[in-house]
Every structure is written in C-alpha cells, then in structure tokens.
Amino acid sequence: MHPFGLTAVVPCYDEADSVAQTHAEIVAALGGYDLEILFVDDGSTDGTLAEIQRLAATDPRVQYLSFSRNFGFEAAFSAGYKYARKPWLVHLDADLQFPPAEVHHLVARALEGHDAVFGVRRTRHDPWHRRGGAACYHWLGRRLRIRIPPGATTFRVLRTELARRVVELRLGTPYFLATVPLLTSRIATVPVEHRPRTRGTSKFRLGRLIGHALELYVAFSRRAVHWVAIVLLLAALASAGLAVAAFAGLLGTGVAAGAGLVAQSVALCGAAVLLRYTVLIADAQPRPAMFYVRAASIPVEPADELFPGARPAPFIPAQREDAA
Ligand code: UDP
Ligand code: MG
C-alpha cells in the first residue's frame, strides 16, 4: 500500500445527490493512498446521512460525523480536520468543483517540504458576482494587511496536526486561510482546475459571504477599526460643515439635508462595523462549542457530542463503583 496516509475531509450540507458520485471519484483518484474518507454531515435535511451510511457499510475507508443541526461550513470542515486520523488531510467539497485527480499535485508539493499546500484556480467556474466579490474581498484584506496566501482556496493538503492546531485556536469563525500563515511559513500554492457545480446548489448566499468577509476583517486586523474611526470623524466634520454652510445661507436647505443624510448613513455603516468588534470582544466569553455531533462512525470526544450517553463513548473508560 502507498505509505502516504491521507484523510479526505468532505463537508456536506444537503448533498444527497452528490455523495455517491463524490465517493466514487475520490476512490478512483486517490485509492492508491492509505486513504480515509471522512464525510461531515452538517445537519442536512435531505437524506445525506443515509447516503453516507450506505457508503460506510460497504467501504471501510468511509467514516462520518453527523451534526445535530446545521452549524455552517467552517464548523463542518473544522470537525473533519479535528477527527481526521491520517497524518495528512485533503479538503474536498462534496460537489467536487475541485477534481480529486488534482490532489496528486498538491501532495507532490507537500512532499517537497511544505506543511500546507493550497490549490489556486486557473480559471474559476462560478457566477460573475462570486468572482467579483472574491476579488474585492481579497483586495480589502490585503489593504488591511491580513496575510492570506494569494488565490488560496479550500482545496488544500495539510499536515493534520497543523490543521488541528488552527481549529483549536478558533480565531474568528475560525478563518482557516488567515490563520495558517500565523503558524507556519512552509506554505505553497499550486494552480488547479476548477469545474462548475453540476449537482445540487451553492450553499453560499450573498448575506453569508458579506458576513464572512466582515468576520475576517474584524477578527484578523485592527487596522479596520482605525479606518472606521477616521471615517466617523470625517462624517462628523462633514455634518458640522454642512450645518454651518446651511445656517450661513451658502447651501439650500434641500441640498444641506440631502448631504447631511449621506454623512449620516456613512456614520451608521461605521457604527455597524464597530458593533461587530464589540460582539467579537463579547465572544471571548464562554460560548457554545463550534459544533455538536449527534452520530459518528468513529470515536468522538464527549465534549463534542450533544448526547454523550446516547451511544458507546470509547473515550470514557467504564468506572466501577467498587474499584479500589
Ligand atoms: N457546506 C457545509 N455546510 C454549510 C454550507 C456548505 O458543510 O452550511 C458544504 C457543502 O455541502 C459543500 C461545501 O461545504 O460540500 C462547499 O459549499 P458550496 O459548494 O455550496 O460552496 P461554493 O462552492 O458555492 O463556494
Ligand atoms: Mg461548491
């Protein structure tokens, strides 16, 4: 058997139509590795878990975790990274927009001495608003001095120990791409193919993407808060200037009122970002775990289970009352 131990982590949310094909393609491309395929069912409501369990019954390389509700993409892959059992892992989305055959190129780079290798899409096959949005998001991230390997995606091969450390840190949501460079400089990128989604639909709507971006900016940069403070100050000065000009009769009341409202909306946007910082500080207080597991094919720490007693928990050895 190939000595390279690799866990393919596959987060799945309502992917019942995809998982069988995903499994077949992963096995065809990566069957030569000492392979584990870890599906993480992120609280799907469409029979995804049953599909995964069907695969697990016939293929011993298939393992799964199933959440008690939808905890979101980061929670899903974080659980997979935490419970991956091979020394290396590859992240593959269930829709296989990144072809598993490309994994070999990432593994080859890893073996050159890198702890983390990220796929960079040669051509991205997603709708225009996703591509445009991503360009703006990275541009602003760079302005805020947040270090993300340029073009890096969720298609990545990493040392499992490194992935676990990143998950433990739980910075931001956690923001994997921005945390890895804080831990190691042995990072590489590799150009990869990217395909349009052919089954199921994207789970990322605009609101969620904007939320993620804001999360990155406030969690990984203190520059954003300085910028916001400056913008608020400028809005205040503009309002004061408008008021003076209106009283002095230099501006019509309509123009002054309109411009004043513009200054006010800029200030309110800034206040919203500051509020997000406040929530981030409050988040440092005790909070629920990032995810809770309801069912799994592998041992899970009791703290990660919603009902630890509901199935055998191999991490707690049975205590005998009369033990000396
Ligand atoms: N996903 C998940 N939980 C979520 C949203 C998405 O586990 O709450 C999974 C999804 O099933 C897929 C992967 O994350 O395997 C990436 O999602 P998607 O393909 O919808 O993202 P996009 O390619 O549109 O960015
Ligand atoms: Mg996708």
Please give the pLDDT value at position 238.
92
Counting from 1 in the atom list of ligand 1, the atom nearest the Cα of 76 is: 7
Give the DSSP letter of residue 319.
P
SS3 148: coil
Q: Is the CB of 42 under 6 A from ligand 1?
A: yes
Please give the pLDDT value at position 173.
73
Q: What is the pLDDT of residues 8-36, one digit of tens each?
A: 999 999 999 999 999 999 999 999 999 99
User: Which residue's CA is minimally distant from atom 21 of ligand 1?
Assistant: 202
Please give the pLDDT value at position 323.
43
pLDDT at 1 over 70: no
Q: Is the CB of 177 under 6 A from ligand 1?
A: no
Return the ligand number nearest the Cα of 130.
1
Confidence of residue 305 (pLDDT cuts 50, 70, 90): very high
Token pair recorded at residue 126 = 């997603």
Which of these, 28, 29, 27, lies nearest to 39 by C-alpha position?
A: 27
Query: Which of 185-189, 224-228, 263-267, 301-305 is most confident?
Result: 185-189
Return d(Cα 120, Cα 299) in angstroms, integer. Answer: 34
Return d(Cα 229, Cα 308) in angstroms, integer. Answer: 47
Higher pLDDT pick, 207 / 317: 207
DSSP assignment string, 160-192: HHHHHHHHHH--TTT-HHHHHHHH-S-EEEEEE
pLDDT at 263 over 60: yes
Give the DSSP letter of residue 142.
H
How many residues appear in the chain? Answer: 324
- CB burial readout 97-106, b (16+ within 10 A) else e: bbbbebbebb
pLDDT at 314 over 80: no
Q: What is the pLDDT of residues 104-157, one digit of tens each?
A: 999 999 999 999 999 999 999 999 999 999 999 999 999 999 999 999 999 999
Give the DSSP letter of residue 62.
E
Check: CB of residue 98 under 8 Å from CB of residue 156. Answer: no
Within the chain, what is the greatest distance between any pair of CA atoms? 92
Please give the pLDDT value at position 284.
66
Degrees to nearest 5, angle at CA 277 with 275 and 279: 70
DSSP assignment string, 195-219: ----SS-----HHHHHHHHHHHHHH
User: Which residue's CA is minimally distant from atom 24 of ligand 1?
Assistant: 202
Give the DSSP letter of residue 105.
H
> 95: CA distance to ligand 2 center in Å?
6
> 160: CA distance to ligand 2 center in Å?
23
Confidence of residue 287 (pLDDT cuts 50, 70, 90): confident
Question: Is domain 2-205 classified as CATH 3.90.550.10?
Answer: yes
User: Which residue's CA is minimally distant from atom 5 of ligand 1?
Assistant: 73
Confidence of residue 311 (pLDDT cuts 50, 70, 90): low
Percent of the chain with pLDDT over 70: 94
Return the ligand number nearest the Cα of 202.
1
Residue 50 identity (one-letter amino acid): A
> 54: CA distance to ligand 1 center in Å?
21
| Mean pLDDT along residues 175-193 | 96
Q: Is the CB of 76 under 6 A from ligand 1?
A: yes
> 243: CA distance to ligand 2 center in Å?
51
SS3 152: coil
pLDDT at 3 over 90: no
pLDDT at 320 over 70: no
User: Which residue's CA is minimally distant from atom 17 of ligand 1?
Assistant: 203
User: Which residue's CA is minimally distant from atom 13 of ligand 1?
Assistant: 93
> 19: CA distance to ligand 1 center in Å?
13
Higher pLDDT pick, 47 / 169: 47
Q: Best mutation site among 67, 73, 194 for ligand 1, i.e. most ligand atoms within 8 A of its Cβ? A: 73
Return d(Cα 178, Cα 113) in angstroms, integer. Answer: 20
Q: Exposed (0-12), middle (13-18) or buried (19+): which is 288, by Cβ within 10 Å?
A: exposed
Higher pLDDT pick, 280 / 62: 62
pTM: 0.85
Please give the pLDDT value at position 317.
47
What is the Cα 66 distance to its own chain's centre?
17
Annotated domain spans of the chain? 2-205, 223-284
pLDDT at 54 over 70: yes
Average pLDDT, whole number, for the chain?
90
> 16: CA distance to ligand 1 center in Å?
13
Strand partners, 40: 11, 65
SS3 121: strand
Q: Exposed (0-12), middle (13-18) or buried (19+): which is 134, by Cβ within 10 Å?
A: middle
pLDDT at 312 over 90: no
- Neighbouring CB atoms inside 10 A of 272's CB total 11
Token pair recorded at residue 239 = 């309002």
